[in-house]
Amino acid sequence: MGKVLSANLGYPRIGEKREWKKALEQFWAGKITKETFLETVKTLRLSYLKKQKELGLDLIPVGDFSLYDHVLDTAVLFGLIPDRFRTDEKEVSLETYFSIARGSKNAEASEMTKWFNTNYHYIVPEISNDTKPYLTSNRLVELFNEAKEAFGIVAKPVIVGPITVLKLAKGYDQDHFRTLLDALIPLYVQVLSELQAAGAEWVQIDEPILVKEQTEEDLALFQDTYKAIKNGVPSLNILLQTYFEAVDDYEKVVQLPVDGIGLDFVYGKEANLAAIKAFGFPKEKVLAAGVIDGRNIWKTDLSTVLHELKTLLTFTGGNDKLWVTPSSSLLHVPVTVSNETELDPVLLNALSFADEKLKEIVTLANGLNEGEAAIEAALQKNSADLQALQQSAHRNNKEVQKEISRLSDELPARPGSFKLRQQIQADTFKLPPLPTTTIGSFPQTKEVRQARRNWRKGEWSEEQYEQFIKDETAKWIQIQEDIGIDVLVHGEFERNDMVEYFGEKLAGFAFTRFGWVQSYGSRCVKPPLIFGDVSWKEAMTVKESAYAQSLTKSPVKGMLTGPVTIYNWSFVRDDISQADVFNQIALALKNEVRALEEADIRMIQVDEPALREGLPLKEEKKAGYLHDAVYSFRLATSFVNNDTQIHTHMCYSEFDEIIETIDALDTDVISIEAARSHGEIISAFEDFEYKKGIGLGVYDIHSPRIPSVDEMKSYAERALKVLDPKVVWINPDCGLKTRRPEETIPALKNMVEAAQEVRNELSNRVGK
């Protein structure tokens, strides 16, 4: 019968204490040489392999490690390089690789967007109709050999599949899809053939696009593609891996000509399990059962999952046809709980990060292979740890639960229509056409970060730190006035992160020391843990906003993070509904909005950049999510007076499918990105008459380059072809926290100049 294997789908890149991030940024800053950088990341990469081997894992991945992004790696592997970055050299240099991701002095970076419905962002491959893919160099063979030579590991190479790569790419006409796919397939076969020659036994090909809706034509493409790949490498075992949801076309997917199928039994549990029970599973194939949550940080209920795995075993061709895996790559969770020493033990004992999840996988595989008695002690401790958290006071706040139970089904509504509010606010603020503003944060310089460290370590008093924040705020209020920005912000120098800052001040949240995850490139975030009932304790932002407003006659925006973004950018309890957590956060934020309004802050921005990120992958689930998102946003904001202007901000969003939801938020102004997508996002407003205020992100803040006046004007001018000038604002596409002052100030000067030139052109047209 063989044995059940333990397998990983992908491991975090960043290191236990973000060593990967630090090496990247030192290299980009010219502080270490290319050789030192490559040696540093190799050392890290090998340490991850060693750790997985020592944990007892049967199948360890390679190819999951990346210097920036795994989708970019795949595009570069097959020569899918944007024309503006092409050189005569076959291989893609490290400099070119990073330029595609980050931009250069002469070329804009490639677009970045979210990886399905996660908080990870990938670089979108750019392909033209006449792109001719080619194999640049087989990086996977190098990584496979590295693992074998260093530790004797016969690794499982991982690569994003050809159909997912092309479906996520942009720039080509759809009628060229098959031509491009046919050009890619032989290259995949070449990569796989070379891996087989090197000694690989299994290769994991990720096709997460399969969990989205597929047409008959799509399914036929999968059949043709994997038939061609399998014919090309008939004796190499191929695992076709899906994740983040269930597959709709289960019967056809499991019959694809591959040797194993990976299914998500966490986020696609009900549908995938029902499908297996209804239709069985091919006895000759391996089922890679993703039963450990690859995206959240709670311990698995081992007894329950062990029972589920025993059920799955009845449908496989034997123990050797079942693998225990995470539901997805562990890229989305922190590395290890072992460095967390300051958390409430009740919470700490319920946590499981990447290393702990791999231990859970090994434990479950052992339980199946050796019998439940062999893991009885682990099962008992696991059950006690989970029960202790569930019964704690943190999850039993009767006052919060009563408030949630009293909420009406009717959507909260503003006291006046947008048309009425627009006129009142125009009279109140007296702003010029195309008013300029920024999204909220200004550069978090090393001085700002050092000041925060000094304060947190107790080396600075509360008074010292508060004075420092005041000084930074005053400096940047003056800079904004000198530049000529119309609506100012206080700069958020007191905030470490737009979600963490609020979580630290609300009940129901906890924070790790080293619970970092990669968001994009070297940008890492440390999501809060929403582990209990959420409630407001005291004003969180009023002091800083009111101080900034006291320094200027221009309006200063109060800055909050919205309930859906706080939810989506946190690790969230999974014992109550998503809607209930949304609304707990919204009720807390409602108190903060009220406090800002009472302090005479008349513009309040409640950012929801992650609203679309949480959009379910299944069509039938989207309407419910969007309704709950709108409800919670309006619960937090709709009670304000008509002369209080509510702003929000969204980024990385393809707005076409949620444009009605954006309208339903009933904000006075929404700011969006337009630069990173090269203005393409404006097309969402061509078919929908959007009448509320809209701020155009004409400046891509994710790149160090300083955009020209003409470049920013072009985005504004494109937008004005479909939007009424009376509702358009001009702003960067996101906060400026990660940029340096010497990049930020000239870019904002150019932005203000661009806005003024467009104003003048509009005025001249009216004059004629």
Q: Distance between CA atoms of 746 and 473, rounded to whole angstroms?
A: 19
Whether residue 569 is annotated as binding a ligand: the answer is yes
Residue 685 has pLDDT above 80, yes or no: no
- 19 labeled binding residue: yes
List the Cα angle 165/171/174 in 5-degree steps.
Answer: 75
Whether 734 has a binding-site annotation, put simply, is: yes
Q: How many DSSP H helices and E strands does the chain contain?
A: 26, 21
For strands 557-561 and 523-525, give the pairing. Answer: unpaired
d(CA 564, CA 569): 8
319 labelled as ligand-binding?
A: no
CA distance 317 to 321: 6
Are β-strands 121-123 and 112-114 bridged in parallel, bridged antiparallel, or unpaired? antiparallel
Q: What is the mean pLDDT of the chain?
A: 94
138 is an annotated ligand-binding site residue: no
The answer to the question of whether 441 is labelled as a binding residue is yes
702 included as an active-site residue: yes
Q: Which CATH class name applies to 5-390?
A: alpha beta
Please check the confidence at residue 297 and state whether its pLDDT lies above 90.
yes
- Express each pLDDT in 310-353 by its tens digit: 999 999 999 999 999 999 999 999 999 999 999 999 999 999 99
Which residue matches tokens 């231990």?
359
635-683 pLDDT, tens digit per residue, is 999 999 999 999 999 875 566 778 889 899 999 999 887 665 655 666 6
Is residue 754 within 8 A of residue 715, CB to CB? The reply is: no
Q: Point out which residues pair with 287 in neighbouring strands.
A: 261, 322
Tell how strand 112-114 and strand 523-525 pair up: unpaired
- Gyration radius (Cα) of the chain, Å: 26
Q: For the chain, what are the domain ranges?
A: 5-390, 418-767
pLDDT tens string 461-512: 999 999 999 999 999 999 999 999 999 999 999 998 888 899 999 999 999 9
CA distance 646 to 418: 11
Question: Which residue in 70, 332, 394, 702 is the catalytic one?
Answer: 702
Sheet containing strand 260-264, edge to edge, reads 5-6, 322-326, 286-292, 260-264, 237-241, 202-206, 156-160, 61-62
5-390 and 418-767 have identical folds? yes
CA–CA separation, 80 vs 67, rounded Å?
Answer: 17
β partners of residue 670:
648, 694
* Rounded CA separation 330/342 (Å): 24
DSSP collapsed to 3 states, 170-235: ECCCHHHHHHHHHHHHHHHHHHHHHHHHHCCCEEEEECHHHHCCCCHHHHHHHHHHHHHHHHHCCC
The tokens for 399 are 């006052």
The region of weakest confidence among 154-158, 624-628, 630-634, 697-701 is 697-701
CATH 3.30.450.30 fits 418-767, yes or no: no
Out of 100-114, 227-241, 643-657, 715-729, pick the least confident: 643-657
